[in-house]
Chains A and B, each alone.
Chain A
Amino acid sequence: MTQRIRCAGFGGQGIVLMGRLIAHAAMVEDKHTTFFPQYGAAMRGGTANCSVIVSDSAIASPMVEEPDVVLIMNGPSLDKFESTVKPGGWIFYNTSLIDREVERDDVNVIKVDANDIAKEVGTARAANMVMLGAFSKKLGTLDLDTLMSSLDVQLHGKGDKVMEMNREAMRRGAALVE
């Protein structure tokens, strides 16, 4: 099994953190993984995206040209990456911020009202965690518990309240697709 994933949204939505969590959890589960962020002149409010590969075997190229899965957090990212998804692949997208339908009919589409659910949990900033929860529950690529323990490592030093909000956001995302 090899899954090529692209996370995309605007700067400040925690796109890079999503990718790092997937890669870290994959490592903890003894899978092979690579993570590559779009880097450079990015800023809060600009577009951000990263590529993650999770595989049972060694990964040669870290580049994601035709993703199996895209996790889309805002409208411009859906416009940019909808056409790149492999036929039969998966588009998870944030309906809180995107009011159009996916046009492709050869991919699986999962709607996640990530910001709205995150607000219910206590902060819209956890919208990325809602999306991760939905992704991991739906596709089973990684265990939700592993992602949560990776969160402890990657967000080390944040207070208990923030950590619990993020964990709850993941659980709510998972519950959405159950």
Chain B
Amino acid sequence: MSEKIPIGEKVLMKGNEAIGEAAVQAGCRAFFGYPITPQNELTAYMSRRMLEEGRAFIQSESEIAAINMCFGAATVGERSMTSSSSPGISLKQEGISYMACAELPVFYVNVNRGGPGLGNISPAQSDYFQSTRGGGHGDYRVIAFAPSDVQELYDFTMLGFDLADKYRNPAMILADGILGQMMEPLVLRPYEPIPDLPSKQPWRLGDPSTPDALLITSLILNTGGMEERNLMLQKKYDSIVENETRYEEVMTDDADVVMVAYGTASRIARSAMETAREQGIKVGLFRPITIWPYPHEPLNKLADRVKNMLVVEMSLGQMWEDVRLAVEGKARVHLHGRTGGGVPTQPDIIRDLKKVLASKDGEIVRNF
């Protein structure tokens, strides 16, 4: 069956399915899933494709079981993956924290839905804090991509597996119900691993050629041991910040106001920008592509000349906090936030852009 996948060609695919195919191409050996809308097409796709490829697919008894199956696969050095949507991702946090501590690679996907609680099944970005602050307990971070189209879902899934392996750390995609459910053309590019992927041989379990006994654990009870582990992890995180921060700037050169938005919200903001420019409003767009590591430095530089920023997000000020941290008071940071399945509209964004440009020193525009 796999020869039917037209690698290298342009195809029309659902976001959720594009993630699945990218994972298959990137050599994911085991997928552990549990159903939840709006990511179900991903689990369904993998249930078919993984078996076609002779690899493992397990619909686990719970989300918690799925992430711990990933833990097991990772200890023997195999690429594995899980996916869910907001409440299910909350359940996985314990396992993710354990893997971050034990320095085990895993790639996972959150197709964000409305929350808190069981919430609803509508698109949202309200798991921003969870994605960018580690998510579970303890002093750790996960590499978090925020794709804005189906091509990026595909590309960053491949890169996510690579970076998880390179840094021996969990990596994830934060998508939302719109990205997961929408279809658009994408090129199914062949998988090419990043050049500097280290071998797993020195640490993975079950390799008879490894001479010494190995221990993979997240329990560190000896005096000072946990602090030592955390400082070592922190060094790794510093290197991730330095090397893996990704962002895009659009029409910021002459901008009087810059919108900061990621994922689906960035696409709506971009359309609003195009319409607003036709009306003579000089507006630009700054799009974080990784939300951890966050592009604090380039935003800080931008704030040297742009004194007003409007954060457009499908949550109530979660990324707004990062932008405020980034600009260090050099710019006023305004907020257009929707929540619980509400999606920003172009007319509302343009209304707020006009409010921002008419606002006085010290004033912060907020739509709610």
Residues of A whose CB lies within 8 Å of any CB of B are 20, 23-24, 27, 32-37, 39-41, 59-63, 65
- Besides A39-B121, A59-B184, A60-B270, 12 more A-B contacts (Cβ < 8 Å) are A32-B185, A35-B12, A36-B181, A36-B183, A40-B37, A41-B121, A60-B267, A60-B274, A61-B272, A61-B346, A62-B184, A65-B345
Residues from chain B with a CB closer than 8 A to the CB of A33 are 12, 184-185
In this assembly, does B182 line the interface, its C-beta being within 8 Å of a C-beta of chain A?
yes
Contacts known (A33-B184, A34-B184); A60 close to B268, Cβ less than 8 A: yes
Closest B residue to A31 by beta carbon equals B185
Q: In the complex, what distance in Å separates the CA atom of A32 from the CA atom of B185? A: 8
Residues from chain A with a CB closer than 8 A to the CB of B346 are 61, 65
Closest B residue to A20 by beta carbon equals B183
Q: Which one, B38, B264, B268, B274, contacts A39 given CB within 8 A?
A: B38
Pairwise interchain contact B270-A39, C-beta atoms closer than 8 A: no
In this assembly, does B177 line the interface, its C-beta being within 8 Å of a C-beta of chain A?
yes
Size category of the binding interface on chain B? 20 to 34
Residues from chain B with a CB closer than 8 A to the CB of A40 are 37-38, 121-122
Q: Which 5 A-B pairs have the closest CB atoms?
A: A60-B270, A61-B271, A60-B271, A35-B183, A61-B268
Distance in Å from the Cβ of A80 to the closest Cβ of chain B? 17
Distance in Å from the Cβ of B284 to the closest Cβ of chain A? 14
Distance in Å from the Cβ of A27 to the closest Cβ of chain B? 4
Contacts known (A20-B12, A39-B37, A41-B121); A63 close to B343, Cβ less than 8 A: yes
In this assembly, does B326 line the interface, its C-beta being within 8 Å of a C-beta of chain A?
no
Closest B residue to A65 by beta carbon equals B345
Q: In the complex, what distance in Å separates the CA atom of A124 from the CA atom of B166? A: 56
CB within 8 Å of A: which B333-368 residues: 343, 345-347
Q: In the complex, what distance in Å separates the CA atom of A42 from the CA atom of B10? A: 30
Q: In the complex, what distance in Å separates the CA atom of A73 from the CA atom of B347? A: 29
Q: Which one, A24, A36, A60, contacts B182 given CB within 8 A?
A: A36
Q: In the complex, what distance in Å separates the CA atom of A20 from the CA atom of B268? A: 22
Q: In the complex, what distance in Å separates the CA atom of A41 from the CA atom of B38? A: 11
Mark each residue of chain B from 20 to 39: 1 if its CB lies under 8 Å from any CB of chain A, else 0: 00000000000000000110
Residues from chain B with a CB closer than 8 A to the CB of A32 are 185
CB within 8 Å of A: which B171-230 residues: 177-178, 181-185
Residues from chain A with a CB closer than 8 A to the CB of B177 are 39
Pairwise interchain contact A62-B121, C-beta atoms closer than 8 A: no
Q: Which one, A20, A27, A37, A59, contacts B10 given CB within 8 A?
A: A27
Closest B residue to A35 by beta carbon equals B183
Q: In the complex, what distance in Å separates the CA atom of A132 from the CA atom of B250? A: 37
Residues from chain A with a CB closer than 8 A to the CB of B345 are 63, 65
Distance in Å from the Cβ of B317 to the closest Cβ of chain A? 22
Pairwise interchain contact A24-B270, C-beta atoms closer than 8 A: no
Distance in Å from the Cβ of A4 to the closest Cβ of chain B? 11
Listed residue (B37, B178, B183) with the most chain A CB atoms within 10 angstroms of its CB: B183
